[in-house]
Structure 1
Amino acid sequence: MSRQLRIKLLVTGDDFGYCQQRDKGIVECFHANTLSNVSLIINGSSAANAVSLAKRYNIPIGLHANLSEGFPVCSELKKKSTIINCQGVFHGKMGIRRMLSQGRLNMSEVRKELCAQISLFQQLTGHNPQHMDGHQHIHVLPGICEVFAQVLEENQILYTRIPVELGLHRCFWITEGLMEFYKGIEKDALNAAEIFRRHGIRWPDLYIGLSTMGKNMSTSNIQEAIRYGICSIQSSISTISESSNSVSIELMTHPGYPSIPEEGGCGEGPDGFSQSRERLHELEVLKSTSLWSFFLGYGIELCSFKDL
């Protein structure tokens, strides 16, 4: 890795506001200087608490738009709409993908819900989201990404996330089934990128997070992902500006303490991943001295979207 290259690293803690155990862990990582940015899940049970923490500690905050877990924010969509099931909750990570493939999602309802989530974010924080991505990568799904891009442009939200990770094919520790899902995400993201670009939406030069999620996170895996990604694009003048000689990277993370079964979530209780020790594992890696030393040793600058 070239020491002359200026590396701007955005370490984003997703699902801020999901539960107080998540919020506590994210704040600890921010104070440890290995997390620099958060994405608020606005229909989370502790969204208001999370916003209060962000204000108190001056944590840069964006919106983690949610169309797959829990209850909608838009009041007119809560009783009957295509974005909820018969129990009145979103269709789930795989359910929304099935609805899309069957052509059963009303995109005007998707738009209303996204706008309602932005409006609630503005009410709670007093400002626009610095960036807006999607819970469980719903923002890059076919059809939804067009609406998502339009809503971002209309609300002057300049940044999103494109979950395409260079070197993912080299990650032997990812199971076959999970790898298939990840490849689907990347295929959708590559198609969505062109749509976002047409609407003037931007994103960091590199994305990392699929290969380092949950139990797969380690200092060595993060180091290797950063090294591989930078080496892959270092000579590309279309990606790295010659004038700034810098590259921006977003590392997606999910730190926190395990959720309590009766608390947290987005209205229907926390999911299995949130109750597992994998969240705590991510927290421990992010708070480790070895990771902080790696950032420091390579002159990596932690930043948020407002610094790009």
Structure 2
Amino acid sequence: MGSPGPPSCPPAASGPRVRLVVTGDDFGYCPRRDRGMVEAFLAGALTGVSLLVNGASADAAAQLARRHRIPAGLHANLSEGRPLSPSLGSESSLVGPGGFFLGKMGFRKALAEGRVALGEVREELRAQLRRFLDLLGHQPTHVDGHQHVHVLPGVRQVFAEVLQEHGVRYTRVPVEFGLRRCEWLEPRLRAFALAVEEDARAAKEAFEELGLRWPDAYIGLSTMGKDMSVGRIEAAIDQAVQSVLGPGDIQQGGRAITLELMTHPGYPSESPTSGCGEGPDAFSQSWERLHELQILLDPALHNFYRQRSIKLCAFEDF
């Protein structure tokens, strides 16, 4: 983990000892997406989920997580749907017309212009953690950010403080080795991914100071939707291991390291039973979610895990 150090794990037969967390984001967004994630978990392709507590199917998703004992974290949301805090009315800096959050880029613009009240961010994060506790009966195994809002300037400090208040130890730091060499990314997505990575690097200090931990390496900005393939996941894992350990450690078996693969699998969303109050976005309605599910279930990927002695696990296993 990023701080204070990686957990130990049983020695592998050969090569470095690698633990891989495969997280399904946006659990609770819609029943069809949730069904796909449950299938992936039961097949051993997914090791946990991040729950959108203001999602259209959050209640049913929480029931699925309890029934199948799926490790669940909170997908902290400040950009899509409506806030949960009762103290945030129509005049809140976090919402626009209709009482909805400002959107992925709208929130970032408002934050950069100094129009976001960080006290309201704190209230909303606390409200979402309370809702998670109500739904699941326990604190989340980890908390990350929907559309990576948790690493943004100002938000990152509040986020870390609120997690510390609630005793949550694990989060996500979306810094991906080799991201700049991923030429397949469309220019718009590439620019967003690089901006996320820059913010994530800057967030490490605040997270570390307040005792948060995260895997040694992250994968997901370069392998989302249509950009996901078995070969790219394999290459990203190998790149991450090499970057964390170095050639000498790899040859000698090295120390144990941890990785997180962020995913968004499921079946395409359908209106009106999906989204966060505004209906599903285009990505959720496309074939790309199903494509991710199929890749994660591909036997070739699981053969790769076995060949590399990669142990799949959840945050709660650390």
1:296 aligns with 2:306: yes
Say which of 254, 261, 266 aligns to 1:251.
Answer: 261
Q: Which residue of 1 aligns with 2:274?
A: 264
- State the Cα deviation string for residues 196-226 of structure 1 (Å, max 9, x = none): 0000001000000011000011110000000
Give the length in aligned residue pairs: 306
Say which of 165, 189, 197 aligns to 2:208.
Answer: 197
1:177 aligns with 2:195: no
1:120 aligns with 2:131: yes
Structure 2 unaligned segments of length 5 or more: list them: 1-12
Note the 1:8-47 alignment, pairs <5 A: 8-47=19-58
Q: Provide the rounded CA distance (Å) in 2 between the counterparts of 1:294 and 1:244.
A: 19
Maintained 8 Å contact 1:33/1:292: no
Q: Which amino acid aligns with 2:88?
A: L
Note the 1:135-214 alignment, pairs <5 A: 135-214=146-225
TM-score normalised to structure 1 length: 0.96
Q: CA deviation at 1:129?
A: 0.6
Q: Which residue of 2 aligns with 1:81?
A: 92
Q: CA deviation at 1:244?
A: 8.4
Q: Provide the rounded CA distance (Å) in 2 between the counterparts of 1:50 and 1:194.
A: 34
Maintained 8 Å contact 2:22/2:261: yes
Q: Which amino acid aligns with 1:210?
A: L
RMSD, aligned CA: 2.0
Q: Which residue of 1 aligns with 2:16?
A: 5
Say which of 227, 246, 252 aligns to 1:235.
Answer: 246
Q: Which residue of 2 aligns with 1:278?
A: 288
Q: Provide the rounded CA distance (Å) in 1 between the counterparts of 2:307 and 2:42.
A: 19
Q: CA deviation at 1:243?
A: 12
Identity %: 52
Q: Provide the rounded CA distance (Å) in 1 between the counterparts of 2:165 and 2:275.
A: 29
Runs of at least 4 residues of structure 1 off by over 4 A?
none
Q: Provide the rounded CA distance (Å) in 2 between the counterparts of 1:3 and 1:255.
A: 31
TM-score normalised to structure 2 length: 0.93
Q: Which residue of 1 aligns with 2:68?
A: 57
Instruction: State the secondary structure of the residue aligned to 1:77.
Output: coil
Q: Provide the rounded CA distance (Å) in 2 between the counterparts of 1:268 and 1:28.
A: 26
Instruction: State the secondary structure of the residue aligned to 2:53.
Output: coil
Instruction: State the secondary structure of the residue aligned to 1:204.
Output: coil
Q: Provide the rounded CA distance (Å) in 1 between the counterparts of 2:116 and 2:281.
A: 24
Q: Provide the rounded CA distance (Å) in 2 between the counterparts of 1:267 and 1:177.
A: 26
1:226 aligns with 2:213: no
Q: Which residue of 2 aligns with 1:305?
A: 315
Q: Provide the rounded CA distance (Å) in 1 between the counterparts of 2:163 and 2:114.
A: 23
Q: CA deviation at 1:236?
A: 9.5
Q: CA deviation at 1:117?
A: 0.1
Instruction: State the secondary structure of the residue aligned to 2:97.
Output: coil
Q: Provide the rounded CA distance (Å) in 2 between the counterparts of 1:243 and 1:25.
A: 36
Q: Which residue of 1 aligns with 2:116?
A: 105
Q: Provide the rounded CA distance (Å) in 2 between the counterparts of 1:45 and 1:244.
A: 44
Q: Provide the rounded CA distance (Å) in 1 between the counterparts of 2:189 and 2:14.
A: 34
